[in-house]
Amino acid sequence: MIFQRIFHQLRSNKTLIILCVEVIIMMMGIGLVSPILPQYARTFGVNMTMIGMLITVFGIARMLVDIPAGRLTDKIGRRPVLIVGPLILSLGSIGCAISDTYWIFLAFRFVQGIGSAMYTTAAMVMLADVSTDENRGRLMSFYQGCVLLGAGLGPTMGGFIAQYFGLQAPFYAFAAMGVIASFWAYFSLPESRPSIVKPALRAARSKSNKPVKALLRNTDFILISLITFGVFVTRQGAQNQILPLLASDRLNSNEAQIGFALTVVALIQLVSIFVSGKYSDRAGRKGFITIGGYILVISLLMLTAVDSVRFLLLSCIVMGVGIGMCGTISSAYVADIIPRENYSIGMGTYRAISDLGFVLGPVFLGWLSDIHSFGLALIFNAIFLLVVLVWFQVKAVESRSPAY
């Protein structure tokens, strides 16, 4: 019943549907290369640290470009950035496929990160444009569900393509999907930038001559950004790095069992996203963010005590609920508290802080695991999230008044 109502309400939003088709294509493309990236890197004769750099440099590029991409959506519009971003990803993918040294490969991964930042930031700004206080949670939940759908389909396709056509083939397929996404946006996607006359726009911004500094002085914005930073650390460090290694070392789980555990996280997250998105529009964002965050903290502590496959899967279920409640609603909260004329720079800054977690999570939690144990890394992750959540619960305002 919940899903029927959500889809009925979303059918009337043409821009959202078009944007979601594009994000499914893009996330499928990104997912194509994820299962073969380490194996392809090994063909250059590099060690695990250098393989890890391929993920880190992608995140660094995103972090550096998030804010400029936000500014660009103001100058030239959201639509051009959503057209060009996938093309840059395609260029980077072709470069990765034809690289004959590791360092060239690494450079083109940076190019891919630039394209990813442009697309992701522009998409978030457009979502903020087309949503309202009454439906923002549902719209962003639907979008995030499409992200998960594309990301879930991509790895299976990528593994199949690599098996039958070689390790370079997924990069060429990714490039083709980037071109398809760009053409789809060019022919289908309308511009969502508000048609505000330039003098009025300048007047609105004159109240805050330096929007980024103003945002960084906003306690609510900083706290929600730190929560999302913590969620990104959890996703990249705990979920995608420590969980598979922990399952392998403690439980002797094979690749199929580990893959199933990660799929459980994604599926539960998908359900949690839709439910929390719908009800956050009615009951407010803050409660869902804090409850979801506390559930995520519990899941991290559960992982430290994993001693069986059943308990691992239970931990994955709890983690999926927590990320689904906390992650997506955080984006809606940000859009609620940012003035409409500052959506672009606000979303860019928010994405940059979040992507810092994408970069630091695997490195720092991996280092803690190396010097001590998986348990210490997971506990540190949980404590950081807990401190920020309590701070948020005490200090932050409710961005959307409950409307029952």
Residue 5 counted as domain residue: no
Same domain, 163 and 301: no
Same domain, 75 and 29: yes
* pLDDT at position 255: 65
Kindly list the distances between the CA atom of residue 100 and the CA atoms of 114, 168, 228, 382, in Å, as whole numbers in the listed order. Answer: 21, 12, 37, 41
Task: Look at residue 52 and give its three-state secondary structure.
Answer: helix
| pLDDT-above-70 percentage for the chain | 89
Tokens 């391929």: give the residue: 54
Structure tokens at 55: 């993920």
What CATH code is carried by the domain that includes residue 40?
A: 1.20.1250.20
Same domain, 301 and 350: yes
Higher pLDDT, residue 274 or 193: 274
Same domain, 261 and 381: yes
Same domain, 162 and 232: no
Structural domain total, the chain: 2
The mean pLDDT of the chain is 83
Same domain, 216 and 365: yes
Higher pLDDT, residue 316 or 197: 316
Residue 213 counted as domain residue: yes
Higher pLDDT, residue 403 or 244: 244
> pTM of the prediction?
0.76
CB atoms within 10 A of CB 271: 15
Same domain, 65 and 186: yes
Per-residue pLDDT tens for 78-125? 889 999 999 999 999 999 999 999 999 999 999 999 999 998 888 888
Q: In terms of residue numbers, what domain contains 243?
A: 204-395
Same domain, 211 and 167: no
Same domain, 176 and 256: no
* pLDDT at position 340: 72
Same domain, 226 and 179: no
Task: Look at residue 403 and give its three-state secondary structure.
Answer: coil
CB 382 within 8 A of CB 301: yes
Residue 400 counted as domain residue: no
Residue 1 counted as domain residue: no
CA-closest candidate to residue 332, choices 391, 291, 281, 394: 281
Q: What is the DSSP letter of 11?
A: T
Residue 255 counted as domain residue: yes
Same domain, 165 and 218: no
Same domain, 105 and 221: no
CB 221 within 8 A of CB 347: no
* pLDDT at position 130: 79
Per-residue pLDDT tens for 196-249? 534 444 454 445 446 667 777 888 889 999 999 999 899 888 887 788 888 888
Residue 135 counted as domain residue: yes
Kindly list the distances between the CA atom of residue 41 and the CA atoms of 88, 95, 198, 228, in Å, as whole numbers in the listed order. Answer: 21, 14, 48, 30
